[in-house]
A = this chain, B = another copy of it.
Amino acid sequence: MSSGSEARRGRPRSAGADERIIRVAIELLLARGYGGLSPDEVAERAGVAKTTLYRRWPSKGHLALAVVARLQEYDEIPDTGDIRRDLTVYLGEIAVALNRMRLAGAAEGSRSPGTVAELVAAAARDDELDRLRRELYERRNALAIALIERAVRRGQLRPDLDPGVLLEQLAGALYYRVLITGAPVDEEYAARLVASALDGATTAE
């Protein structure tokens, strides 16, 4: 895409700086939550000037989003052919990530959604950040939707199924618990959820 014919000029951005900043940011975010992610401190710990940080991520929200993106970097979903199992595994991974965020910087027993909500809130104040955040989720969801579509093509799922809606039912339920009701999410719940969504609610006659 931007493969580089255009000869770069000027001092190139320090490659190490990006990585050091992100690492420190991950550490801080997981240890203290969104509120504890101070750009000042990140810069200092990364041995970098604040300007350098802000040149890359123009606000604390952007930085936090980059952290989340990094923590979610898994490029493909295993497709074993057993859609029920694959979806359960996928949702389980999301649950793990959500739980990690949930624990970040939270008081001991707190069931607080913490970082996830803060990030959505931060995005709510900055359209550009919001766009980036949505793109992140779209990218991730595209993988899951493709998984579902393959199952449809294999005849395992009904042909008139809307894969997006199914995914929203599944992922939505996880986020609903984390963000809204505070109920726990784990693999067992993921399995129940998949069963419920796939099998439907109406009486099987």
Cross-interface CB contact of A193 among B137, B165, B180, cutoff 8 Å: B165
- In the assembly, how many copies of this chain are there? 4
| A121 interfacial by beta-carbon distance below 8 Å | yes
Is there contact, CB below 8 Å, between B169 and A196?
yes
We find that the number of chain A residues with CB closer than 8 angstroms to chain B is 58
Closest partner residue, chain B, to A105 (CB atom): B124
Q: A113 — which chain B residues lie within 8 A by C-beta?
A: 120-121, 123-124
Can you name 6 A-B residue pairings with CB atoms under 8 Å?
A120-B120, A162-B196, A169-B170, A169-B193, A172-B176, A199-B202
Report Cα–Cα, A170/B106, bound state, in Å: 28
In the A-B complex, the 5 residue pairs with the closest CB atoms: A200-B200, A172-B176, A172-B172, A117-B120, A172-B173
Cross-interface CB contact of A196 among B117, B165, B174, B180, cutoff 8 Å: B165
Q: Which of A97-120 contact B (CB under 8 A)?
A: 106-107, 110-115, 117-118, 120
- A169 smallest CB distance to B (angstroms): 4
Cross-interface CB contact of A180 among B175, B197, B204, cutoff 8 Å: B175
| A66 interfacial by beta-carbon distance below 8 Å | no
Report Cα–Cα, A110/B124, bound state, in Å: 9
Known: A172-B169, A175-B172, A176-B171. A111 touches B137 (CB 8 A): no
Is there contact, CB below 8 Å, between B196 and A201?
no
Report Cα–Cα, A113/B126, bound state, in Å: 11
